[in-house]
Amino acid sequence: MEDMGLSFADQSLSLNSAEDAKTIVSAIEKCPCLVFLNLQGNTLGIDAAKEIGHAIAKHGSHLKHALWQDMFTGRLKSEIPIVLEHLSAGLLTANVRLSELDLSDNAFGPIGMQGLVKLLNSPVCYELQKLRLMNNGLGISGAKMLAKALIDNYHASVTAGTPFNLKVLIAGRNRLENEGIIALSQFFSLVKTMEEITIPQNGIYCKGILALSKSLLENPNLKVLDVQDNLLTVIGAEALANVLPKLKNLKHLNIADCLIKSKGALAIAEALNVHESLENLDVSYNEINGESGLILTKALCDKINLKGYNINGNRFGIETIDIITNALKESNKDNTLGSFSGDEGECSSDEENENAEDSSTDTEDGDVSTSFADKTADLMKDMNVSEINLVKNSTDNVGFEILVDQLMDIAGRYQNANDKATLDKCFELYKAAYTNATKELKFVDLTNLLLVKHGLIKSEDKNFQLRKDVGRCLDVLKIAVENKNVIPEPSQCVLSFMLKKKFSAQ
């Protein structure tokens, strides 16, 4: 019965009028048992959606799978909620109980969520198990709307005697950021039935990962976790590592491109020593050194179900790569290993120790303070880089903003690599700013301010405008980040990550 239904996938139909919809309406009317309806890759307008909704209302009572990806190309955002409302009305009239809803690759944003919320809050979704919202441009406000709708649906379904037991949520490339994933984590903690959470490329930082990790403790049946290309750092990796032993059914873990570094890899390795079900692990592009990479590999050698292991794009070098390969070969798991084509080469012991040595600074009394990395690790837990308002509401904020503006005034005059005087002055100001920020517990605020002022994240102030010389300022910032003497390591992680995004997109 699951293979019965209709597919108009990727026919590039432009369905505007009721007349345009006749082909689909006729097919629905003739279908003896409409279990799935795939409209992917077509574009659906209001009048056409109304007709299709009427057809579903009359003939769609068996519908379980609404596969409606990429069907708003060329549409106004104001049309999308109405289209969704027409389709939802048909589902409601037919008394449908969906098990799968896929609206991926529809860039409807928070506006489109208005139509989706009504559907999610209806009995149509009481039995929903798979919700796919990949690349919808939800943003923080859309994510909050989604979380509230899911929570409301849960409570309503429990009251109705059919508890909501969502298993799969796919919401990558949606700009969820910290606030969005924190809101969704509240739902995860409530529902307790999640089996797959896929949220790559969402601008999620430590604070969001901590909230997510906590919610995973309530979902012991989780099988797939994909947080690729978010900024976990060591703190996020350690938070996940604390949860992994409880997720005994976890089969696929993707933490690629999350800047977990060597210390984070060691935490994951320790957690995996007591984990038996893992089938696939991706820790590529995380700046992991050879020693930590080998320890992580050894933690996988006894995993009888291991099928895929991607550790490409780290900092091993040829010798360590050979050792890792041989370790897996001795365990008959060399076939699980991915390519090493992106390996960045082994870093020297001096380079490994540079951060710890260079992130120390002299206090006014002449004593050497604790390293910035040690001082600010806990502060990073509260980092929320999506929230910063440049309104000057306190003396401290004014002071930091003036200092950053002065720094950027100088950086805006930077010419080229030979302009050492400008660089030295900027480096001096960066060091002074971070020294003061650490003393005043404003480290996170300063890092956020730099990100906003350089256009690396959006400002909450709608009147904020980037400087005309921001390009030169970005060049100086990039050099400062690469120079381990200037900016402390936790901030280096964040700034480096965002600069990488900025320049790779150009």
Kindly state the DSSP code that residue 231 receives in the 8-state scheme: -
How far CA 305 is from CA of 282, 294, 300, 334, in Å, comes to: 15, 19, 10, 13
For 102, 221, 230, 382, the CA distances from 378, given in Å and listed in that order, are 39, 30, 19, 8
User: How is residue 205 written in tokens?
Assistant: 């930082």
pTM beyond 0.85: the answer is no
C-alpha–C-alpha distance, residues 295 and 316, integer Å: 12
| Per-residue model confidence as pLDDT tens digits over 381-437 | 444 433 333 333 333 444 678 888 889 999 999 988 888 889 989 998 898 888 887
pLDDT digits 0-9 by tens, 347-375: 654 444 444 333 333 333 333 233 333 33
Which tens digits make up the pLDDT trace of 248-293?
A: 999 999 999 998 999 999 999 999 988 889 999 999 999 999 999 9
- Hey, is 36 helix, strand or coil? strand
Residue 442: per-residue pLDDT: 74
End-to-end CA distance of the chain: 48
**Contact residues for 164 (Cβ-Cβ < 8 A; gap 6+):** 125, 126, 127, 128, 150, 153, 154, 157, 158, 191
pLDDT of residue 435: 83
The rounded distance, in Å, linking the Cα atoms of 288 and 290 is: 7
Between strands 5-7 and 308-310, the pairing is unpaired
Q: What distance in Å separates the CA atoms of residue 112 and residue 96, rounded to the nearest whole number?
A: 21
Q: What is the pLDDT along the chain (506 residues), one digit of tens a residue?
A: 556 999 999 999 999 999 999 999 999 999 999 999 999 999 999 999 999 999 999 999 999 999 999 999 888 888 998 999 999 999 999 999 999 999 999 988 888 888 889 899 999 999 999 999 999 989 999 999 999 999 999 999 999 999 999 999 999 999 999 999 999 999 999 999 999 999 999 989 888 999 999 999 999 999 999 999 998 988 899 999 999 999 999 999 999 999 899 999 999 999 998 888 999 999 999 999 999 999 999 999 999 999 999 999 999 999 999 999 999 999 999 899 999 998 888 765 444 444 433 333 333 333 323 333 333 344 444 444 333 333 333 334 446 788 888 899 999 999 888 888 899 899 988 988 888 877 776 777 788 889 889 998 877 677 888 998 999 999 999 999 988 788 887 788 788 888 887 776 66
Tokens of 220: 């012991």
Looking at residue 377, what is its pLDDT? 41
Write the single-letter amino acid at 340: F
The Cα–Cα gap between 33 and 334 comes to: 47
Q: Name the average pLDDT for the chain.
A: 86
Residue 124's pLDDT is 96
